[in-house]
Amino acid sequence: MILSYYWSRPLYCLAWYSVKLLRKEKKCVLYCEEAFDAILFDNVQKHLKNVPLLAKNRRVQNKLKAMGHRSRRSPSFPDVVIMFRNMAWKFPCKKIVKIGFEHGAYNFKKFSAPSYYNLFTVFFMTSSADVARAEKLGITTAKAIGFPKIDGVFDGSVSSQELARLSLKLGLDPKKKTLLFSSTWDASGMSAIHLWYKRLDTLKESYNILATTHCWTSDKYRRALQNDKNVVFITDFEISRYIMIADVCIGDTNSLLAEFCLLGKPIITFRVETTSRTMPDVIELIEKISYRISTFEELVPAVEKVLEKDSPLAAQRRKAVRLFFGEPDGKAGLRAAQDICKLVPELRSGLSKT
């Protein structure tokens, strides 16, 4: 357990009880470690009364403000905290109801210690398969509800006309295939961004190039991609539309692979070194759902191959969707909201009982 959990707990709990004596109504907040967390909560929030945002720091608060969201900063002493990170230890009073969500589909990296998850009242995961993995480790708070972030994929709100307008806005050449590059956090040791971020100009004559990175990616990579005139660097938090307009998606060990599968895209992945966070079952899965390469020189032949014949891998990706998301139906946000209201009835707002 994080040491600050123990040394901060006595003073925090004293302050929490003092504040609670003066408070007439139950206070619930969404803790945002990153501004992206507010986007992840959208499809849950729409079924609830408004949940105020609590920003980790000024940087996150400024990002939220730029997105049109008001927020407060710590310290905070809520009765209920919701978060998309495994950081219940930041709210060490046991009386606080703590509700957690995975911020990506499935756990592509080694789980944190069970004690972190077990601080939560409930921790929502995206599939029963992921819950089973968690329970084997001794995690007792996990519950499968699906992945609220992808609910919009099923509601018909994204039309072919909208995708055509997006392609036009981005200046994509309709005569070229579009490649979407993505990567996990480079400091995890499980990223391949260093293999491709400086070499995308070699692809410009044949392909449209989109790129997205993990929100914690080092500035040197982000700046290089932002400044590359041959690359459309995606700054939007919600990238489903960009995945939809891509012909081939390229990654490493990032959880976006799950969304690539859901949207039926051919996938190429770079092999990376094994680290302490590597999960053998995840690497085995990635081997089944994607065309694997080790160097940038292998990329173009791989792209041509998956564009020509991808059916065996496509069948494996369809199987993987259930592993990642259970039975995706566009109602994960509703299910999460219903479960939240069982714990916090005050958040109920015309919530469907179905």
Q: Which domains does the chain have, with CATH numbers?
A: 3-151+330-347 (3.40.50.2000), 156-325 (3.40.50.12580)
Give strand ranges (E) for 155-258: 177-181, 207-211, 232-233, 248-251
Whether residue 117 contacts residue 107, with contact meaning beta carbons closer than 8 Å, is answered with no
Tell me if residue 286 falls in helix, strand or coil.
helix
pLDDT tens digits, 4-52: 777 788 899 999 999 999 888 899 999 999 999 999 999 999 999 999 9
* Burial bucket for residue 241 (CB in 10 Å: 0-12, 13-18, 19+): middle
Look over the chain and give the mean of its residue pLDDT values, rounded to a whole number. 91
pLDDT tens digits, 180-203: 999 998 888 889 999 999 999 999
CA neighbor of 320 nearest in space, from 284, 346, 345, 274 = 284
Confidence at residue 312, expressed as pLDDT on a 0 to 100 scale: 82
Q: What are phi and psi of 164, to 5 degrees?
A: -65, -40
Confidence at residue 124, expressed as pLDDT on a 0 to 100 scale: 97
Confidence at residue 351, expressed as pLDDT on a 0 to 100 scale: 58
Q: How sure is the predictor about 1, in pLDDT bands with cuts at 50, 70 and 90?
A: low
pLDDT tens digits, 76-119: 999 999 999 999 999 999 999 999 999 888 888 888 899 999 99
How does DSSP classify residue 134?
H
Tally the C-alpha atoms within 13 A of residue 201's C-alpha that lie toward its C-beta. 6
Confidence at residue 189, expressed as pLDDT on a 0 to 100 scale: 86
Is beta strand 122-125 parallel, antiparallel or unpaired with respect to 267-270? Answer: unpaired
pLDDT tens digits, 278-318: 888 899 999 999 999 999 999 999 999 999 876 789 999 99
* Burial bucket for residue 225 (CB in 10 Å: 0-12, 13-18, 19+): buried
pLDDT tens digits, 61-74: 999 999 999 999 98
| pLDDT value at 134 more than 70 | yes
Mean pLDDT in residue range 128-154: 94
Q: How sure is the predictor about 136, in pLDDT bands with cuts at 50, 70 and 90?
A: very high
Number of residues assigned to the chain: 354
Sign of the torsion angle spanned by Cα atoms 106, 108, 111, 112: negative
pLDDT tens digits, 197-249: 999 999 999 999 999 998 788 999 999 999 999 999 998 878 889 999 999 99
* String of DSSP letters for 42-63: HHHHTTBS---EEESSHHHHHH
